[in-house]
């Protein structure tokens, strides 16, 4: 199936919003060390950009879970493919995601993280599709709310392509 990508959020807008979020997060975590936990692969691009502009001490860690396959609909399950390197008990943890869609992935992750007893647990996502929510999940930091469309770029892929695009684009299937 052929596809076309059109710009939804321009590179400059994405970069400016990431700096804004970093400033808000730096203020909220003043005096603390922040543990940024990223869900691979999509979240990695956003987390690295965000971390650059956070002014409190930051530690990063990565987790890999399976949610989507190569299609465009949620599997509704989360399986840990790679766990964190360090325990999060007693730490101030911020889960960094690329996008919240149905909310299933984050809801599962949140429950799993809570059982590991961090000092605090919050979520930051670059993109949010509130109209697609099936499971209620509190997201403390949202870059952009977007309409119901399949997007790529800024870490998001279609069949592993387009992650490196510096803007958020909408995929249209022809
Ligand atoms: P949820 O469990 O909230 O339905 O889905 C979360 C995951 O689905 C995201 O981490 C992302 O991998 C994938 N996803 C949801 N919407 C999109 C989208 O528009 N584009 C891409 N590339 N992935 C998406």
CA-nearest residue for atom 9, ligand 1, is 99
CA-nearest residue for atom 4, ligand 1, is 102
Q: Are 66 and 60 spatial neighbours (Cβ–Cβ below 8 Å)?
A: no
Mean pLDDT for the stretch of residues 112-134: 95
Q: Is the pTM of this model over 0.85?
A: yes
Which of 101, 128, 148, 159 is catalytic? The answer is 101
Query: Of the given ranges (64-68, 144-148, 149-153), which has the lowest mean pLDDT?
Result: 64-68
Q: Are 3 and 173 spatial neighbours (Cβ–Cβ below 8 Å)?
A: yes
Dig out the tokens for 113 from the structure.
């993280």
Q: CA-to-CA distance for 37 and 17, rounded, in angstroms?
A: 20
Catalytic residue list contains 101: yes
Q: Are 11 and 173 spatial neighbours (Cβ–Cβ below 8 Å)?
A: no
Phi, psi of 79 (to 5 degrees): -120, 130
pLDDT at 1: 66
Asked if residue 172 has pLDDT above 90, the reply is no
Digit-coded pLDDT (tens) for 16-47: 999 999 999 999 999 999 999 998 889 999 99
pLDDT at 59: 97
The gap from C-alpha 157 to its chain's centroid, in whole angstroms, comes to 13
pLDDT at 10: 98
Strand 141-145 to 151-152 pairing: unpaired
pLDDT at 72: 47
Residue 95's nearest CA partner among 66, 119, 62 is 62
pLDDT at 3: 84
Angle separating helix axes 42-52 and 11-28, nearest 10 degrees? 60
Asked if residue 161 has pLDDT above 50, the reply is yes
Digit-coded pLDDT (tens) for 61-89: 999 987 654 444 455 567 889 999 999 99
């Amino acid at each position: 199936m052929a596809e076309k990508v059109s710009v939804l959020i321009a590179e400059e807008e994405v970069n400016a919003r990431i700096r804004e979020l970093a400033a808000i997060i730096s203020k909220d975590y003043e005096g603390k060390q922040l543990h940024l936990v990223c869900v691979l692969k999509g979240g990695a691009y956003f987390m690295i950009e965000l971390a650059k502009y956070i002014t409190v001490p930051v530690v990063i860690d990565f987790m890999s879970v399976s949610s989507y396959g190569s299609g465009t609909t949620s599997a509704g399950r989360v399986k840990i493919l790679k766990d964190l390197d360090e325990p999060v008990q007693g730490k101030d943890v911020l889960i960094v995601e690329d996008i919240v869609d149905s909310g299933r992935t984050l809801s599962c992750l949140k429950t799993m993280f809570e059982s590991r007893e961090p000092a605090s647990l919050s979520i930051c996502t670059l993109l949010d599709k509130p109209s697609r929510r099936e499971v209620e999940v509190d997201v403390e930091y949202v870059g952009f709310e977007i309409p119901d469309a399949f997007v790529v770029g800024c870490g998001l892929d279609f069949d592993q392509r387009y992650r490196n695009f510096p803007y958020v684009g909408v995929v249209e299937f022809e």
